[in-house]
Amino acid sequence: MCGIIGYLGAKRVVPVLLDGLKKLEYRGYDSAGIAVVEDSQLTVRRVKGKISLLEESIRSSPVDGKFGIGHTRWATHGSPSEENAHPHQDCTGSLVVVHNGIIENYLSLKKSLKEEGHKFLTETDTEVIVHLIEKYFQGRLEEATLKAVQELDGAFALAAISTQDPDKIVAAKMGPPIAVGLGDKEYFISSDINPILAYTRKIVFLEDEELAVIEPEGVSFKNFKGNKLKKTVDEITWSPLMIEKRGYKHFMLKEIFEQPQVVRDTLQGRISLERGKVLLEETGLSPQLLKAIKRMVIVACGTSYHAGLFGEYLLENLIQIPVEVEFSSEYRYRDFKVDEESLAVFISQSGETADTLAALRAVKERKGKSLAISNTVKSSIAREADGILYTHAGPEIGVAATKTFSAQMAALALLALYLAQLKRKIDKKATLTLIQELQRLPHKMEIILNAEKSLEKLAQSFLPYSHFLYLGRWISFPVALEGALKLKEISYIHAEAYPGGEMKHGPIALIDNQMPTLAVIPKDRVYEKMMSNISEVKTRNGHVLGVVFEDDEEIKDKVDEVIPIPVTDPLFTPFLTVLPLQLFAYYIATKRGADVDQPRNLAKSVTVE
């Protein structure tokens, strides 16, 4: 949801900003811009569209500078256009600001600033920030910024530079993330660590209501009250290579193929075959507390919500307590209750999703206990929850989540087994059987991925269709939802997912020979029921593609196309069944010419409501 970058150091600033913006482009890509300063000369260049167009504009008419800031936008207020692209300038043309987030009181601020004589040129909420800083500016950018942020309501991560207070970048955070990179006499600010990693692994994460002042002599930190802060420096272990495509055509395809390793990495060090145990003491929640939990709610959005549904079926099966799954955007506004014996689990790969963060805060306000499952170290959700269980998927750059879904399921499987152990709902033998199977999953995932070409061929033959139905029941229902979401978001094809048994209550009316059905039918407790549902589709001229166990002979006459997967424990089939659905969506989308890594209208990290 918008990416911010800034650089001050000995390098020429423009290539550093452009390189950083490309790595942040997954956060938004409807317009982009940079502002750089050299010898008191401020140059702003902005374009509508992607970073490649900004690069083209700079190639044909070069700009240069010693320090600067940049932005890639996902529009909230004001259409995607060059005028609304960041950085935004003040009335004097000497001060610029880039911003990620939403200023909720921008209309009233705009009105009073206009009355004071400020001239507004855009429809954005951001423009009020630059005029507010201008209003308070008396020579020191950080002091003016500190005064300005006191008047802002809403969420913001911002960076400002001025020719009147040169060689300085001021960044402030209230909501969306800001990381500050500390290099060798060079400093970076960025919405995430990816652009910084090529230069330094030393990172300081700003907390809410904090400000960083970057100067040639170093970086200083203050809170919004103006008090100096001593911040800890984190050493990041992610390697810059993790964010390269490494021979794959798209990040999404690379990330699909990384899933076996991601599952291995997320399980690594957390299971002991010798002791027949899951070892999850790391979360920060005590075993006594977890043992006493009698109810759970899982709160998340999008793909993370689907992982949460998988968790619901698994947790109910293994620990037999009530588990509900809620959309973050709904849960935060509900009149929900929490008590001593309930645990709320927040799943978010980015750890910054605004709705999930708000739902977490709503639980904390009611004194509820919380556990986060996140892929992003030190993200807001990871920091604010009482406990944290990290997934080890590495950076996910493709906007459509794939490998983080598998990593989230692996984390949930560990959590479910750990709770079952604590609550003595499972004996050592049964635990061992399940953890051995968990460890076998990556190899089984590789078998499916190696058959990628057959999925590509299948996708080719389904290119002409504009509507798809996805069916699954019990633990395969979340997979049907996830398969449909992947197809929708990257190929812009209409897809609906239903629990197989619900189809007869309405959606069956859609079935004809123009609406193929992808049915997830591993052999589990609802297998026979799914067979009936498929025959209901077939009787109505529907075409069925079945994701089925490879040894399932019976199904072969019942579906039109068989997509085989290796046999696994019924509780773990989603790790395998989701892979062909991801590949199917990927190939349909790429064959239709869609930009799968950056689908229209989307952004990876949704830091606005």
Could you list the active site residues? 2, 604
Measured from the CB of residue 356, what is the shortest distance to ligand F6R in angstroms? 5
* Residue among 57, 126, 162, 353 that touches ligand F6R (CB under 6 A): 353
Asked if 606 interacts with ligand F6R (CB under 6 A), we say yes
Stretch that binds ligand F6R, among 60-68, 247-255, 295-303, 538-546 (CB under 6 A): 295-303
Measured from the CB of residue 595, what is the shortest distance to ligand F6R in angstroms? 14
- Residue 321, amino acid: I
Q: Which is nearer to ligand F6R, 568 or 582 (CB)?
A: 582
User: Per-residue string for binding with ligand F6R, 548-587, x by CB under 6 A?
Assistant: ----------------------------------------
Please report the DSSP string for 49-63 in residue order: S-HHHHHHHHHHS--
Measured from the CB of residue 350, what is the shortest distance to ligand F6R in angstroms? 3
Q: Which is nearer to ligand F6R, 298 or 420 (CB)?
A: 298
Pairwise CA distance, residues 547 & 315, whole Å: 24
Measured from the CB of residue 348, what is the shortest distance to ligand F6R in angstroms? 3
Measured from the CB of residue 176, what is the shortest distance to ligand F6R in angstroms? 12
* Residue among 89, 194, 303, 517 that touches ligand F6R (CB under 6 A): 303
Residue of 486, 595, 589 whose CA lies nearest to 49? 595
* Residue among 401, 414, 469, 576 that touches ligand F6R (CB under 6 A): 401
Question: How far apart are the two ends of the chain, measured CA to CA in Å?
Answer: 11
* Sign of the four-CA dihedral 176, 182, 183, 185: positive
Asked if 400 interacts with ligand F6R (CB under 6 A), we say yes
Q: Give the CB-nearest residue to ligand F6R.
A: 302
Q: Which is nearer to ligand F6R, 128 or 411 (CB)?
A: 411
Asked if 350 interacts with ligand F6R (CB under 6 A), we say yes
Pairwise CA distance, residues 316 & 399, whole Å: 31
Question: DSSP strand E in 183-285: where?
Answer: 187-190, 202-205, 210-215, 218-223, 228-229, 234-235, 271-272, 277-278
The interaxial angle of helices 127-136 and 106-115, nearest 10 deg, is 50
Pairing of strands 187-190, 3-8: antiparallel
Pairwise CA distance, residues 48 & 118, whole Å: 25
Q: Which is nearer to ligand F6R, 289 or 358 (CB)?
A: 358
Q: Which is nearer to ligand F6R, 90 or 489 (CB)?
A: 489
Task: Quickly count: other Cβ atoms within 10 Å of residue 365's Cβ.
Answer: 9
Residue count of the chain: 609
Measured from the CB of residue 605, what is the shortest distance to ligand F6R in angstroms? 6
3-state helix, strand, coil in the chain (%, to 5): 40, 25, 35
Asked if 194 interacts with ligand F6R (CB under 6 A), we say no
Beta bridge pairs of residue 296: 323, 343
Pairwise CA distance, residues 416 & 298, whole Å: 13
Token representation of residue 123 = 């429809």
The interface with ligand F6R within residues 320-349 (CB under 6 A) comprises 348-349
* Maximal C-alpha separation, the chain: 79
CB 177 within 8 A of CB 606: no
Contacts with ligand F6R by CB under 6 A: the residue count is 15
The interface with ligand F6R within residues 445-504 (CB under 6 A) comprises 485, 489
Q: Which is nearer to ligand F6R, 137 or 587 (CB)?
A: 587
Measured from the CB of residue 578, what is the shortest distance to ligand F6R in angstroms? 12
Pairwise CA distance, residues 46 & 36, whole Å: 12
Q: Which is nearer to ligand F6R, 57 or 329 (CB)?
A: 329
The interface with ligand F6R within residues 505-534 (CB under 6 A) comprises none
Q: Which is nearer to ligand F6R, 162 or 375 (CB)?
A: 375
Measured from the CB of residue 430, what is the shortest distance to ligand F6R in angstroms? 31
Beta bridge pairs of residue 213: 170, 220
| 3 state SS of 246 | coil
Q: Which is nearer to ligand F6R, 191 or 421 (CB)?
A: 191
Characterize 230-268 residue by residue with b for buried, 16 or more Cβ atoms within 10 angstroms of its Cβ, and e for exposed: eeeeeebeeeeebbeeeeeebbbbbbbbbbbbbbbbbbe
Rg for the chain, CA atoms, rounded: 25
Asked if 3 interacts with ligand F6R (CB under 6 A), we say no
Please report the DSSP string for 60-78 in residue order: HS----SEEEEEEE--SSS
| Residue numbers at the binding site for ligand F6R (CB under 6 A) | 301-304, 348-350, 353, 356, 400-401, 485, 489, 605-606
